[in-house]
Amino acid sequence: MTRTDDSRYLKGGPVAQRIIASVREDAAIATAEGFPPKLVSITVGDTAAVDVYVRNQRAKAALAGIGFEERRFAADITAGELEAAIHGLNADPRVTGIIIQRPVPAHIPIKTLQAAVHPLKDVEGMHPASIGNIVYNQLDLAPCTAAASVELLKETGLELKGLEVVVVGHSEIVGKPIAFLLMSEGATVTVCHHMTRSLAAHARRADALFVAVGKPRLIKADMVKPGAAVIDIGINSEIGPDGETRIVGDVDTDSVKEVASWITPVPGGVGPLTVAILLRNTMVALNRQRALYRATYGVPDQIAAE
Ligand SMILES: NC(=O)C1=CN([C@@H]2O[C@H](COP(=O)(O)OP(=O)(O)OC[C@H]3O[C@@H](n4cnc5c(N)ncnc54)[C@H](OP(=O)(O)O)[C@@H]3O)[C@@H](O)[C@H]2O)C=CC1
Ligand SMILES: Nc1nc(=O)c2c([nH]1)NC[C@@H]1CN(c3ccc(C(=O)N[C@@H](CCC(=O)O)C(=O)O)cc3)C=[N+]21
């Protein structure tokens, strides 16, 4: 193989920086026009991957000039109390975006919570009324991780039309939306999950392999087609040989990088781009709110931020 190790890595950082720079310009204009963007994150209980995500949301929102607030709730809160909190945020004109961090504790029905978020403030497109947009090829506000993963695949320059793609994991927030986005791009998509009979046989056929399961080193070199692009979405926290906690993906990167032509590192791959797309979605949502405001009142929009 003539490629250097480094060129095989599909890094999310540079793409994320470009997106954040553009969001920053949009946010500054909206703020000057009296419509400051503000994202509220809702966390229920404790999950390592959520902590990493929220930490980076806070940092990058500050860079982009987007207001950010984290609301943390104890794991034993009731679904009713959470719904009430979400309704409060829906009614607050200063809050322009809401994200509910997943997972939530088992006693809370996630779909009920997602349905409680006003669709205009739904920055992940996870409201049941919004998620259907990607089925209709309306892709301007898609679940952030799915959008980030597909955007990184595009960085390879591979022709997506007719591309043989395998997605491992079929969660509502990652695997399923990836499959819909790729179908919109003309790829041939196979979706695998825990009942798939031979994961390896499917994975080995893929020109592009997306992995979103939550199991470190699930994908080994012998499951990957030589020359494939491997998009590793897993964010797993484990103790490294030095005794320090570290983040690893779902792919055995050291062995797979010898077989694949492209591989996303963890950290430094899909994660940073997910955060950038969340901020971009926050601006898409804000602009939809402004459009509605204009259509309703027929005057330049102005919101009282005091
Ligand atoms: N980088 C980023 O921006 C993000 C990273 N993540 C990370 O991605 C990973 C997945 O997240 P998420 O989709 O929310 O997780 P979920 O737990 O909701 O989904 C995991 C999926 O993996 C499937 N699965 C479980 N075991 C296997 C197996 N042995 N073989 C094949 N499929 C299997 C499950 O199938 P079934 O339902 O049939 O059991 C399920 O569809 C996690 O590590 C998470 O932290 C998540 C969001 C964003
Ligand atoms: N409703 C919802 N939507 C999500 O998209 C969602 C979620 N819930 N729950 C948790 C998972 C996990 N997730 C991450 C996103 C970015 C990084 C990230 O920024 N990662 C950096 C980490 C760098 C560092 O260590 O600080 C990287 O991979 O380089 C991590 C994790 C989104 N998730």
* Residue 130 known to bind ligand: no
The dihedral sign for the CA sequence 237, 239, 245, 250? negative
| Whether residue 272 has its Cβ less than 6 Å from ligand 1 | no
Domain spanning 5-10+139-267, CATH architecture? 3-Layer(aba) Sandwich (3.40)
Q: Determine phi and psi for 143, rounding to 5 degrees.
A: -50, 130
Helix, strand and coil percent figures for the chain, each rounded to 5:
45, 15, 40
Task: Write the single-letter amino acid at 73.
Answer: F
Same fold: 5-10+139-267 with 13-136+272-297: yes
210 neighbors 165 (Cβ within 8 angstroms): yes
Instruction: Please tell me the residue having the least CA distance from ligand 2 atom 12.
Output: 49
* Residue 171 known to bind ligand: yes
Task: Write the single-letter amino acid at 304.
Answer: A
128 neighbors 135 (Cβ within 8 angstroms): no
Residues (pLDDT < 50) of the chain are 1-2, 304-306
Task: Write the single-letter amino acid at 140.
Answer: D
- 43 C-alpha to ligand 2 centroid (Å): 13
Pocket of ligand 2 (CB under 6 A): 49-50, 52-53, 56, 99-102, 124, 144-145, 173, 235, 247, 266-268, 271-272, 274-275
Query: What pLDDT shows up at residue 2?
Result: 41
Within a 10 A sphere around the Cβ of 3, how many other Cβ atoms? Answer: 9
Distance between CA atoms of 249 and 219, rounded to whole angstroms?
Answer: 10
* Residue 235 known to bind ligand: yes
| Whether residue 275 has its Cβ less than 6 Å from ligand 1 | no
* Residue 202 known to bind ligand: no
Pocket test for ligand 1, best of 209, 235, 237, 278 (most atoms within 8 A of CB): 235
240 neighbors 276 (Cβ within 8 angstroms): no
- 68 C-alpha to ligand 2 centroid (Å): 16
Instruction: Please tell me the residue having the least CA distance from ligand 1 atom 42.
Output: 214
Query: What pLDDT shows up at residue 185?
Result: 96
Range list of β-strands (E), 81-211: 97-100, 164-168, 188-192, 208-211
Using one digit for the tens of pLDDT, what is the confidence trace for 82-116? 999 999 999 999 999 999 999 999 999 999 999 99
CA 303 from centroid of its chain's CA atoms: 29
Distance between CA atoms of 14 and 255, rounded to whole angstroms?
Answer: 25
**Check: complex ipTM more than 0.85:** yes
Within a 10 A sphere around the Cβ of 244, how many other Cβ atoms? Answer: 7
Using the atom order of ligand 2, give the atom closest to the CA of residue 247: 25
Using one digit for the tens of pLDDT, what is the confidence trace for 146-180? 999 999 999 999 999 999 999 999 999 999 999 99
- In the numeric block, the tokens 């809370």 are attached to 108
Task: Tell me the domain boundaries of the chain.
Answer: 5-10+139-267, 13-136+272-297
Using the atom order of ligand 1, give the atom closest to the CA of residue 270: 1
Query: What pLDDT shows up at residue 3?
Result: 55
Distance between CA atoms of 72 and 43, rounded to whole angstroms?
Answer: 5
Instruction: Please tell me the residue having the least CA distance from ligand 2 atom 24.
Output: 52
Q: Which residues are within 8 A (CB) of 63 and not within 5 positions of it... i.e. 6 or more apart?
A: 20, 24
Residue 39 pairs in a beta bridge with: 68, 97
Using the atom order of ligand 1, give the atom closest to the CA of residue 273: 3
- 50 C-alpha to ligand 1 centroid (Å): 14
Query: What pLDDT shows up at residue 305?
Result: 47
Cis upstream peptide for 103 (omega within 30°): yes
| CATH fold of 13-136+272-297 | Rossmann fold (3.40.50)
Q: Which residues are within 8 A (CB) of 169 and not within 5 positions of it... i.e. 6 or more apart?
A: 175, 192, 193, 210, 211, 212, 213, 214, 233
Q: Determine phi and psi for 184, rounding to 5 degrees.
A: -60, -30
